[in-house]
Each structure stands twice: as structure tokens, then as C-alpha cells.
């Protein structure tokens, strides 16, 4: 595929952390693409490498003990991993911005919230835009009265703080939004408000989004495409319909099976037995093989190639045919 | 059947610089032996405070708590200690609720040592049993909490809570910090233990799908008060209170073809400090009228289905 056709294109990204003399294999060859105006959901459990991917795209990984070993990140056809730091600074908060998970810690507690929004505008916009006016406008857009420009984060509730974080992220009309569990810290009624707001604003500005979450319900509501990640590897990739109607990888199936079903009464849940692998010591073959009911010798030994099932529905599993046969 | 836990008009207020915070305000319910009462609500609704007040980690401001028919609200220190052996708690955060400097074994045996009813040899046997019961390998007996993942830590928390063979266990968001694949393991374990030991649970959570799965009855709380109370199945089939309806519609469904119509709540959340006497949800409720500023009375709308909303008949 031509790299220029997709708005964001990550190719074969490998990120490692050094910890206590050991190497943590956080991201192991991830490739993904986001089209303009579309949303890709990145789904996985704690420690799967979701946040590391977002931080690698934005190049805000810690300098010490962390390394992007390999990979390319194309934004609009330009490999931003090769840019000089000064150039990158112009992109952050302007072309790409990030909504952080925890609104309680993402804001500066001793700076007025209006100023925190205006700061981004000051850095990136030309002189024609008055940062304070723009910040007030953003507050109104996210549903906070502009008078509250002069207040501090502690005067806001959790949901309102997250709306401020969203206002900061959207203040410069970014082309790409990296949303890292934007509603995980919020109550469901507030989550519904915030998801609605993000959806409206994205539609208005045709923003692309990479949504990181562990909540399949949120993915179902918000995303166009879905990538399921396990131990730093994308194990299944497809449209929302492909993933939700025909989950193929045993891990994806396991995830769906483990959620208590709101529409059915079942006595027992179906957990995925075992634990995710130790990222300092990943299994030689498929990382999910030790927990997989269908694992064979090949799964334990060899790196598994991606099997393309139907149009664009990719699955990193070598036992798909056997699993399908067994299910019949 | 005699209820294991009976709570009557329980109140817990905290004094703050700005006035009294009504964390739990006039809550009543009973739980029968072997049953699970789910308590759901959003952050700050007082659900955890309710659980903690019942097992006397907070002293109740007013009201009565009975455990197997015995009033445990006002007990002497010694009697309270006895009573506490019968009521235990599993905490939300398996990372901060275990002593980082104690081995798994010593965390599990601590309640046994404190109660002073067993010899050293008996404690050793009991500890082996407990570890097997919750599914922790013997090889981890001398491990420290930081060596364990969240799911295993929560199993240690469960073993500790069950060490003294309690009758009643408050499960305070026991799976909220866990990933779904691990969450299902722990939920199954809790259910299995309930069946084998006849335990009575109060299960506090904000997760509607979890509460539906585990509970026999459910209380929905909003800012310290129970707004709706009924059987679990009934609540999901026929939610009545406007807040319950909004709460249920806000849950993102994994059904992509038939998404539920979401109801977005607007309006400010009422402060729990010195609240006005009326319905606390009224500021966000699209059905609110004058009458909602009067104190709300809990009514039995249909058999076993209680709702605190003065407009329920008109809305129905």
C-alpha cells in the first residue's frame, strides 16, 4: 500500500524499555493506519503497549531507558520520527494532540484553566488569533461557561476537568487526536456526555482519532476500525463490524466472552485462564499461546504471520482454519 | 428466613469546613443468607461509605445495623471485635490494601493470629486451606505483594477476608482495578465461594454489567440516598427512577447494530454538603417539577420494587 494514502501510518514500530538491567519489550512490530476523519480503536489490556504506541507517535517517550528500536510514523506522508525536535514541537498540540487518561493529573493545579488552554494557542497560532478569546471560545464549545476561565482545576469536577483537557487538545484544530482512555476515569453518565462531545467536535473539524481503550462498549460506539493488541503486537485488525460480528483471534473471542452480558443471564463467566506474558521474557511463538485453547506446537515455537481473512480483516493466528472447523 | 444483615434508617454524616456532608442518608435494606445485594451508583454517591459503616469501619451517625438479629450499632470494644469476625470486607484496590512489607502468608494468617482462637499448628493448616481455596500457589507463600499481579493480589485480599469464616462480606469494587479477562476469574471465584460457604455479600460497584451478573437484589444510590431498590432482573427489565434509566442508557453497549438511545444528562450535580430536603437528582432530571423540592418518600410501586420519586405514577 502506498504510504501517502493514509493520513497516519505507523510501520513496524518496535519500542523497548530498559528496567533493572532487563529489556521490556513493550511494542513489538506494530503497524497501523488511520484515514482522515476516521477513528481507529486500539483495544487491549493493561501493559499491552497501547499508551506506549501513542507516546511514540507523539515522540514523548522518556529520554532515559526507552528506545524506539525500529519503525516509521508517517503523518500525511512525512516520517515524523526523523524530524528535528524543533520541527516536532510545531506538530505537537497543533497537528497532533493528545487527550490524557487522568484529568486529575493532566492539568497544572496552580495555573488558571483558561491560561492552560490559551498557552497552546499562543504557541501555535499566528498573531491574528487572540489566545484568550480562543480559550474562552473553546470553553464554551466544551460546555463550560467562559466566565470560568479564571478558575483553577480544583474548582472543577472530574468530568469538567476532562472537558478542559479536551478543550486544550482541540484548541488548535488538530488533524489527529490521540485519545488515551479519555473517559476511563469518569462515571458512565459523564462518560456519555464526553463521548458525545468528542464525536460532535470531530465531525465538525473532520479530525482523525486514535482511541485507546480497554472498554469494548466505548469502541462499539465511537470507532470505525479496531485493532486488538496483546503483548505489544496487533493480533486482530478490521472494521468495527468485522471485529464485533466475526471476532477471529482466540484472544479477541476471549475478551468478548469475559464481559458479563447485559442481555443474558449466565451463571458463570468465561474468563481467559492464565495471565498475560512477562514483557521482559516473551514466549518465542505466539504471545497468547500459553493461554490459548487451540495452541499447537507451531504456536509455541514460531513467530506467527498475519493471516488475511476477508477484505482487510487481518488476524495473527495460524490455527484459524482448525478453529473454524471445531466450531462447526 | 431471618436476614443476615438488616439496616434501618442508616445515616453517616461527615463534618467538613463547609458544613455536614450527607454521605449516607436514611438507607434501609435487608439481605438474606446466601444472597447478594448489589449497591450501584457513581463516584461520590456514598456506596463505599455505606459498606464501611455497616461493618463499623465508620461509626454510624444514626440508624440501626443488625447482624443475625443482634444490634451491632452500639457495641463495646470487646463485643465489636467479636462481631467483626462475622463481617469482613474485600477492598477495591489490590495494590494499596495489602501491606507491602508482609508476605502473602503472613497477610492471610494475620486475622487468625489476632483472633487468638487457634494454635500455631491450626493456623498453618488453615492458611494452606485458604490459599488453596482462592487459588494461590503454595510457592507464593513467601512472596511479597509487589511480586504479584492484580488478580492474584485480589485473591489474597479475598483469602484474608474469609480467614475467620465470616457470615457477611462487603465486596467494595473488588474487580474494578482488574482487566476484563482477570475480572471474570475473580467474579467466578466470589460466586463459587458464596455457594460453597453460604456467604452473604453486599457488592458495591459502579459497573452495571458486573452488578447485574452477581446480584440477587440491587439498590441504586444517588448522593447518599437509595433511589430505587428491587430484584436484579426486575431492575434491568423495568427500571423506573429517571436516574436509573439514565444510568442504564449511558452504558456503552457492545451491540453495534442495535445501539440503545443514549440519554445525556445535563445540569449541575447537587452538592452533598447540607443538601436541600427535596430530590437530589432534580437538578439533572428532565421531569423535575415543584413537587420535587419536597422530601421524597420511598414507595412500593409493584411487589418488591421500591422507588423514591414523587412523579413515578405520572411518568409510568
Residue B212 has pLDDT above 70, yes or no: yes
Task: Express each pLDDT in B276-300 by its tens digit.
Answer: 899 999 999 999 999 999 999 999 9
Chain B partners within 8 Å of A267 (Cβ): 191
Element (H or E) spanning B157, and its range? Answer: helix B150-162
Beta bridge partners of A17: A24, A66
CA distance B11 to chain A (A): 24
Number of helical H runs and strand E runs in chain A? 12, 12
- Find, among B234, B233, B99, B84, the residue nearest to B161 by Cα: B84
CB A292 within 8 A of CB A298: no
Report the CATH fold assignment for A8-95+174-249: Rossmann fold (3.40.50)
Mutate to test the interface with A, among B136, B174, B184, B271 (most CBs of A within 10 A): B184
Beta bridge partners of A15: A27, A68
Mean pLDDT, to the nearest integer, of B157-171?
96
Q: Where are the alpha helices (DSSP H) in chain A?
A: 50-58, 85-91, 103-106, 113-124, 131-141, 158-170, 188-205, 216-222, 240-245, 250-258, 297-301, 320-327
pLDDT at A327: 79
Sheet strands (E) in B206-312: 217-222, 225-231, 299-302, 305-307
Task: Express each pLDDT in A93-113 by its tens digit.
Answer: 899 999 988 888 899 999 999
Beta bridge partners of B220: B40, B228
Q: CA distances (Å), A275 to each of A11, A296, A321, in order?
A: 28, 18, 26
Residue entry with cell 482512555: A181
Q: Which residue of B has its CA nearest to A216?
A: B254
**Mean pLDDT score of chain B:** 92
Q: Is A133 helix (H, G, I), strand (E, B) or coil?
A: helix
Task: Express each pLDDT in A105-153 by its tens digit.
Answer: 899 999 999 999 999 999 987 778 899 999 999 998 888 889 999 999 9
Which pLDDT band holds residue B268 (cuts at 50, 70, 90)?
Answer: confident
Cβ pair B181:A216 closer than 8 A: no
Buried b / exposed e over B132-146, threshold 16 CB at 10 Å, is ebbebeeebbebbbe
Complex ipTM value = 0.82
CA dihedral B131, B133, B135, B137 (to 10 degrees): 30
Q: At what angle do helices A250-258 and B180-197 cross, to 10 degrees?
A: 50
Residue B182 has pLDDT above 70, yes or no: yes
Task: Express each pLDDT in A4-44 by its tens digit.
Answer: 468 999 999 999 998 888 899 999 999 999 999 999 999 99
Task: Express each pLDDT in B86-112 by its tens digit.
Answer: 999 999 888 889 999 999 999 999 999
Q: Is B19 left (phi over 0), alpha (psi -120 to 50) or beta?
A: left
Which pTM does this prediction carry?
Answer: 0.88
Q: In CATH, which of 3.30.420.40, 3.40.50.300, 3.40.605.10, 3.40.50.2020 is domain B3-86+164-237?
A: 3.40.50.300
- Find, among B262, B274, B303, B304, the residue nearest to B25 by Cα: B274
What's the rounded Cα separation, in Å, for the pair B172 and B92? Answer: 5
Cβ pair B253:A262 closer than 8 A: yes
Chain B partners within 8 Å of A260 (Cβ): 184, 187, 209-210, 212-213
Chain B partners within 8 Å of A240 (Cβ): 256
Chain A partners within 8 Å of B218 (Cβ): none
CB nearest A187 (choices: B43, B179, B184)? B43
Domain boundaries, chain B: 3-86+164-237
Amino acid at each position: 500500500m502506498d504510504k501517502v494514502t493514509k493520513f497516519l501510518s505507523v510501520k513496524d514500530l518496535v519500542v523497548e524499555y530498559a528496567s533493572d538491567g532487563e529489556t521490556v519489550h513493550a511494542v513489538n512490530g506494530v503497524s497501523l493506519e488511520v484515514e482522515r476523519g476516521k477513528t481507529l480503536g486500539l483495544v487491549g489490556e493493561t501493559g499491552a503497549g497501547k499508551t506506549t504506541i501513542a507516546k511514540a507517535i507523539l515522540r514523548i517517550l522518556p529520554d532515559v531507558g526507552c528506545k524506539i528500536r525500529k519503525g516509521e510514523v508517517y503523518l500525511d506522508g512525512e516520517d515524523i520520527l526523523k524530524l528535528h525536535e524543533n520541527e516536532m514541537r510545531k506538530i505537537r498540540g497543533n497537528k497532533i494532540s493528545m487527550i490524557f487518561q487522568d484529568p486529575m493529573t493532566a492539568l497544572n493545579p496552580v495555573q488558571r484553566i483558561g491560561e492552560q488552554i490559551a498557552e497552546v494557542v499562543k504557541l501555535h497560532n499566528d498573531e491574528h488569533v487572540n489566545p484568550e478569546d480562543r480559550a474562552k471560545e473553546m470553553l464554551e464549545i466544551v460546555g463550560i461557561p467562559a466566565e470560568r476561565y479564571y478558575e483553577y482545576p480544583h474548582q472543577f469536577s472530574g468530568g469538567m476537568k476532562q472537558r478542559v483537557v479536551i478543550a486544550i487538545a482541540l484548541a488548535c484544530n488538530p488533524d489527529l487526536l490521540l485519545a488515551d482512555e479519555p473517559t476511563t476515569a469518569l462515571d458512565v453518565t459523564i462518560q456519555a456526555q464526553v463521548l458525545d462531545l468528542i464525536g460532535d467536535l470531530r465531525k465538525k473539524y473532520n479530525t482523525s482519532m486514535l482511541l485507546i481503550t480497554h472498554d469494548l462498549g466505548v469502541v462499539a460506539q465511537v470507532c470505525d476500525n479496531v485493532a486488538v493488541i496483546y503483548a505489544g503486537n496487533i493480533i486482530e485488525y478490521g472494521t468495527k463490524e468485522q471485529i464485533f460480528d466475526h471476532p477471529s483471534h482466540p484472544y479477541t473471542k476471549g475478551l468478548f466472552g469475559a464481559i458479563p452480558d447485559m442481555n443474558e443471564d449466565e451463571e458463570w463467566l468465561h474468563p481467559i485462564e492464565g495471565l498475560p506474558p512477562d514483557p521482559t521474557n516473551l514466549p518465542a511463538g505466539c504471545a497468547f499461546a500459553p493461554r490459548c485453547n487451540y495452541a499447537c506446537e507451531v504456536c509455541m515455537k514460531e513467530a506467527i504471520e498475519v493471516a488475511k481473512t476477508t477484505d482487510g480483516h487481518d488476524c495473527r493466528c495460524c490455527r484459524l482454519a482448525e478453529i473454524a472447523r471445531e466450531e462447526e | 428466613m431471618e436476614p443476615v444483615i438488616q439496616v434501618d434508617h442508616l445515616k453517616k454524616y461527615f463534618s467538613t469546613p463547609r458544613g455536614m456532608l450527607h454521605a449516607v442518608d436514611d438507607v434501609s435494606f435487608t439481605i438474606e443468607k446466601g444472597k447478594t445485594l448489589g449497591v450501584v451508583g457513581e463516584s461520590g454517591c456514598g456506596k463505599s461509605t455505606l459498606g464501611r459503616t455497616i461493618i463499623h469501619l465508620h461509626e454510624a451517625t444514626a440508624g440501626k445495623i443488625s447482624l443475625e438479629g443482634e444490634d451491632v450499632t452500639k457495641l463495646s470494644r470487646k463485643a465489636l471485635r467479636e462481631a467483626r469476625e462475622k463481617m469482613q470486607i474485600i477492598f477495591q484496590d489490590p495494590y494499596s490494601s495489602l501491606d507491602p512489607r508482609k508476605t502473602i502468608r503472613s497477610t492471610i494468617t494475620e486475622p487468625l493470629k489476632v483472633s487468638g482462637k487457634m494454635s500455631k499448628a491450626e493456623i498453618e493448616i488453615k492458611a494452606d486451606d485458604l490459599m488453596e481455596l482462592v487459588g494461590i500457589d503454595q510457592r507464593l507463600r513467601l512472596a511479597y505483594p509487589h511480586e504479584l499481579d492484580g488478580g492474584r493480589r485480589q485473591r489474597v485480599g479475598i483469602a484474608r477476608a474469609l480467614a475467620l469464616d465470616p457470615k457477611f462480606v462487603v465486596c467494595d469494587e473488588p474487580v474494578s482495578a482488574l482487566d476484563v479477562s482477570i475480572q471474570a476469574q475473580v467474579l467466578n471465584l466470589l460466586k463459587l465461594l458464596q455457594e460453597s460457604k453460604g456467604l452473604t455479600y453486599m457488592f458495591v460497584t459502579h459497573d452495571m454489567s458486573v452488578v447485574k451478573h452477581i446480584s440477587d437484589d440491587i439498590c441504586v444510590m444517588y448522593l447518599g440516598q437509595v433511589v430505587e431498590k428491587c430484584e436484579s432482573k426486575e431492575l434491568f427489565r423495568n427500571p423506573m427512577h429517571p436516574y436509573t434509566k439514565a444510568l442504564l442508557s449511558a452504558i456503552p453497549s457492545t451491540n453495534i447494530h442495535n445501539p440503545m438511545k443514549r440519554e445525556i444528562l445535563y445540569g449541575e450535580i447537587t452538592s452533598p454538603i447540607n443538601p436541600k430536603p427535596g430530590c437530589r437528582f432534580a437538578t439533572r432530571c428532565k421531569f423535575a417539577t415543584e413537587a420535587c423540592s419536597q422530601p421524597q418518600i420511598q414507595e412500593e410501586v409493584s411487589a418488591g420494587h421500591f422507588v423514591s420519586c414523587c412523579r413515578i405514577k405520572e411518568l409510568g
